[in-house]
Structure 1
Amino acid sequence: MSVGSHDHAPRVAIVTGGTRGIGAALTRRLAKRGSRVVAVYRGDDASARRVQQELDGVTTVRADLADPEACVRLVEDVLAEHGRIDHLVNNAGLLLEARSSDTTIPDWERVVAVNLSAAFHLASTAVPAMRAAGYGRIVNISSVTAVMGSPSEAAYGAAKAGLHGLTRSLARETARHGITVNTVVPGVFETDMTASMPEKTRAAIVKMIPAGRRGNPDELAAAVEFLLGDDAGYCTGSVLTVDGGLSMGG
């Protein structure tokens, strides 16, 4: 039976990387509007506990998304528990700073596995259930590095750029089944990672951003929330950039 956009049961969402930074901001937004959120994380148990204790309707799941079988198992477990998956946000990321000549084969393979392959395995496992329901929303979180490049992020940039092609191929595959697939490209945001940078580095980054500041994670979460909403049913195969103008260059 098609659940469609007029079904009023709580939405069920998977948010990878959903217990810290941008992912946590989105988990909070979705939970506070009544969604059942499965927030996936890799290893920070303390952050996962905080999110689960803070929010009703949130389940945290520890998983290594570099493992294709773990991705498949995750989706199957959510379907077994909730009977549906309405929203999938592929937000988990792994950034290893290294020039191409210093990137080892295992490093390359793990960066691609976490940032690109996991999104494919999760989506390809979730799409049949979404298709049967006649409804689904998939949002892939890319990076400004995918469009600007970086001398020390070749693997990361390549993997994140791959999400753009994956998004558009999945969008074409699923568009007539009530499913949308979009990409959001974040710039630099106020997260644990940027907070740990030296002040000189932080200041230099801000100078590159036309808006003159780093973004608040909730600003990116708002963009993702829009694409997950019923009102965004005509947006598919799109790339939405939320970077304060950073990728314009200059």
Structure 2
Amino acid sequence: MASKNALEAKGELLKDKWVLITGASKGIGEAVAVKFAQQGAKIALVARSQDKLEDTAEACKKAGAPEVDVVTCDMKSSKSIDEMAKTLLDRHKCMDVLVNSAGIFPMEGQTPLEGDPDEWEQNIQINLTGPMRLTRRLTPAMAEKGEGYHINISSSAGKHPSPKQCAYSAAKWGMTGFALSSAKALKEHGIRVMTIFPSVVDTDLARTRMEKEDLNPDNMIKPGDVCELVLLPFKVSANSVPQEVVLDVMKNPSA
């Protein structure tokens, strides 16, 4: 049997595995999808925009994905999540890897003194309860197969709460707790759970923040940096799992 290094070199580290990526129409999700495609994975792309997903699908095919499926979904809608999960499971039986990458970052203040509670609720739905619900829908098939991977693209706010983004921090801390608890609950079923905590990543979302906060894109983490980390669970030995990976910056983007 070829070593994992050899498989990676040949672009076959994820051969025959289905990988579902939410938020796959742009930013980190799009970059991660292409990264998995380069390793021979079959790719299921999920986001709200059909047109943008088709662009990502084309990029994945060019990168080497043998199959690509596209399903639109609104991650703040329980019905939409359930329908998307059922569609993919009906078509492919099991998603071997779930990458929770979809998310929003509110631009306005979110403290108990300001902000819109309805926006807080939407933030919780997209950043926490949506990923939790999707995880619940996909995990039984992984457990039946005896192997699976949950990869959560979180934020440094899941480790270090922001005083101006209370609801966002709450969602990310909630996802941290859910992931750690899931990791313990699912070990016996052969399912590995890893969460990545990047600092500010140079995406369209961050570019919007730049206009308000005078951020320097040269000091931001690049989506490709996150991509290098998503392969970690597939490269370590069978009895190992990287549960939490913090990706920090050398220079402050605000500097």
Q: TM-score, normalised by structure 1?
A: 0.84
Unaligned runs of 5+ in 1: 1-7, 207-211
1:99-110 equivalent positions in 2, closer than 5 A = 99-100=110-111, 101-110=113-122
Q: Which amino acid aligns with 1:218?
A: G
Please give the per-residue CA displacement for 1:172-220, whole angstroms capped at 9, x wherever unaligned.
11101110112110111221223342397123xx7xxxxx721121110
Return the offset for 1:49.
2.4
1:50 lines up with 2:58 in the alignment:
no
Q: Which amino acid aligns with 2:20?
A: I
Please give the per-residue CA displacement for 1:108-136, whole angstroms capped at 9, x wherever unaligned.
11110110101111111111101100000
Return the offset for 1:9.
5.9
- Give the number of equivalent residue pairs: 232
Name the structure 2 match of 1:31. Answer: 37
Counterpart of 1:150 (choices 148, 162, 166) is 162
Return the offset for 1:241.
0.6
Name the structure 1 match of 2:130. Answer: 118
Distance 1:233 1:94, change over 3 A: farther
Distance 1:232 1:222, change over 3 A: farther
1:80 lines up with 2:86 in the alignment:
no
Mapped contact 2:22–2:101 kept (Cα < 8 A): yes
1:244 lines up with 2:254 in the alignment:
no
Please give the per-residue CA displacement for 1:60-80, whole angstroms capped at 9, x wherever unaligned.
221111112222222221111
> Separation in 2 of the partners of 1:200 and 1:142?
21
> Separation in 2 of the partners of 1:55 and 1:91?
17
- Report the 3-state secondary structure (helix = DSSP H, G, I; strand = E; otherwise coil) of the residue aligned with 2:214: helix
> Separation in 1 of the partners of 2:118 and 2:24?
25
| Greater shift in the superposed pair: 22-31 or 62-71 | 62-71
> Separation in 1 of the partners of 2:240 and 2:195?
10
Name the structure 1 match of 2:104. Answer: 94
Name the structure 2 match of 1:177. Answer: 189
Q: Which amino acid aligns with 1:89?
A: V
Return the offset for 1:150.
2.1
Q: Which amino acid aligns with 1:190?
A: D
Unaligned runs of 5+ in 2: 1-13, 62-66
Relative contact order higher in (CA < 8 Å, ≥ 6 apart): 1
In angstroms, what is the RMSD of aligned CA positions?
A: 2.4
Counterpart of 1:201 (choices 211, 214, 223) is 214
| Greater shift in the superposed pair: 120-129 or 130-139 | 120-129
Distance 1:33 1:240, change over 3 A: same
Q: Which amino acid aligns with 1:86?
A: D
Distance 1:132 1:234, change over 3 A: same
> Separation in 2 of the partners of 1:9 and 1:200?
42
Q: Which amino acid aligns with 2:110?
A: R
Mapped contact 1:31–1:58 kept (Cα < 8 A): no
Please give the per-residue CA displacement for 1:211-232, whole angstroms capped at 9, x wherever unaligned.
x7211211101101223x1636
Distance 1:91 1:80, change over 3 A: same
Distance 1:68 1:200, change over 3 A: closer
1:122-133 equivalent positions in 2, closer than 5 A = 122-133=134-145
Counterpart of 1:66 (choices 70, 76, 81) is 76
Identity of aligned residues (%): 26
Q: TM-score, normalised by structure 2?
A: 0.82
1:15 lines up with 2:21 in the alignment:
yes
